[in-house]
Amino acid sequence: MGPLKGIKVIEFSALGPGPFCGMVLADLGAEVIVIDRLESAGQKSKTDIASRGKKSIAIDLKKKESINLIKDIVKDADVVIEGLRPGKMEKLEMGPSDFFKVNPKLIYGRMTGWGQFGLHASDPGHDINYIALTGALSSIGIKNSPPTPPLNLVGDFGGGGMLLAMGICAALVEVAKSGKGQVIDSAMTDGSALLMSMMYGFYSAGIWIDRRESNLLDGAAHFYGCYECKDGKYVSVGSIEPQFYEELIKRLELDREKFKDQMDRSRWSELKKIMEKKFMERTRDEWCKVMEGGDICFAPVLSLEESINYKHNKERETFIDIDGVIQPAPAPRFSNTPGKIQHSPVEKGKHTREIIKSIGKENLIEELLKSKIIAEG
């Protein structure tokens, strides 16, 4: 079950990118154990999708006895994921050097916004702040208006949790060769900058204007953007290649002579206004009937609810129902070792006894519960 079957991951409870990274690894077959806060024991939310497929132990990190227990848990782990500010884990005596003493093959993944060092390393922040420093936020939105936050997809998830998951997989390959663990400093500033690689390449080549809504891929071009339809819904068009552009103009029944100079930036605004009027002549679904099936690069812009029920997504089972909660299925798809959601989110502390038993401390469970060092869900 999954290409990461047999890999053990210890994830320290957090929000956003760290749990997302752990979810991706769990979906791919890893055993992911979350170190949850003692006071959270018994709490459960089946809509906390990032917690799916994971085990949970509730433990008090403020007590020395707890730290020793965690070190015992880490002894046979492959990966640790933590997302505290730089230096916090070291103060708790759970930094890389502390864990390497008990497990020199450990991969220690550190998920932060600013990174482990640098001017802002100790500052608080959120996705919007991290991508603000890399040119990503500045590049998204309408000109002469504030930048548009792309949800928290670019920093938290794309340049954060997903990139850390990739880094962990790479480190697993390396440790199998060298036998030595290592630290992964995964900063969302670095990750979101990496995601901008193509734009920085264009900028260096002199073909990217450092201003919103002025370029091929940022909504300036009339053939790459979204258009409102008669019913207030939207369609997306991405007809970059000449053959797709030709088909777009044909299906829209526009004047080919007027639209012949596709890459003339000076005319993009003018041509875009013509297309805006054209798309307002029909509803979104009517345009789908006209456009779909042709070599255009076209798709309707769907809401969350519409996406769940869209025919293509239904055929591929892109969304699945787990205990009444509709959610994205594991991705990507493996032909020999497909990923699978192991189970829905569980109560915090549900596996506390099981995990303590696994480190040979079964005889101490009642005492640890009574002393409130651990708790059960």
Q: Which contacts of 322-327 are long-range, i.e. CB under 8 A and separated by 24 or more positions? A: 322/46, 322/52, 323/46, 324/46, 325/46, 325/47, 325/49, 327/49, 327/52
**Considering the chain, what is the average pLDDT of its residues?**
97
Query: Which residue range(s) make up the domain with 290?
Result: 224-316
- Among this protein's residues, is 156 annotated catalytic? yes
Which of the following is catalytic: 98, 120, 126, 185? 126
CB-CB neighbours of 167 under 10 Å: 19
Flag whether the pTM goes above 0.85: yes
Which of the following is catalytic: 36, 60, 127, 156? 156
Cβ atoms of residues 36 and 349 within 8 Å: yes
Per-residue pLDDT tens over the stretch 303-338: 999 999 999 999 999 999 999 999 999 999 999 999
Residues 274 and 305 grouped into a single domain: yes
In the predicted model, is pLDDT for residue 127 greater than 90?
yes
In-domain check, residue 219? no
Average pLDDT over residues 138-163: 97
Average pLDDT over residues 127-145: 97
What is d(CA 56, CA 10) in angstroms, rounded to the nearest whole number? 10
Model pLDDT, residue 1: 78
In-domain check, residue 218? no
Q: Which helix (H) or strand (E) holds 182?
A: strand 182-187
What is d(CA 189, CA 204) in angstroms, rounded to the nearest whole number? 20
Half-sphere exposure of 186 (CA within 13 A, CB side): 31
What is d(CA 192, CA 7) in angstroms, rounded to the nearest whole number? 28
Q: 294 falls in which pLDDT band (50, 70, 90)? A: confident
Percent of the chain with pLDDT over 90: 99
CATH number at residue 247: 3.30.1540.10
Residues 266 and 335 grouped into a single domain: no
Residues paired with 182 in a beta bridge: 107
Q: 282 falls in which pLDDT band (50, 70, 90)? A: very high
Residues 248 and 182 grouped into a single domain: no
**What SS3 class is residue 8?**
strand
Model pLDDT, residue 275: 98
- Among this protein's residues, is 120 annotated catalytic? no
Tokens describing residue 188:
């969302």
Scanning the structure block, which residue is given the tokens 């199998």?
A: 176
In-domain check, residue 288? yes
Residues 231 and 150 grouped into a single domain: no
Q: Which of 273, 296, 316 is the last residue of a domain?
A: 316
The distance from CA 188 to its chain's CA centroid, rounded to whole angstroms, is 11
Please give the biggest Cα pair distance in the chain.
84
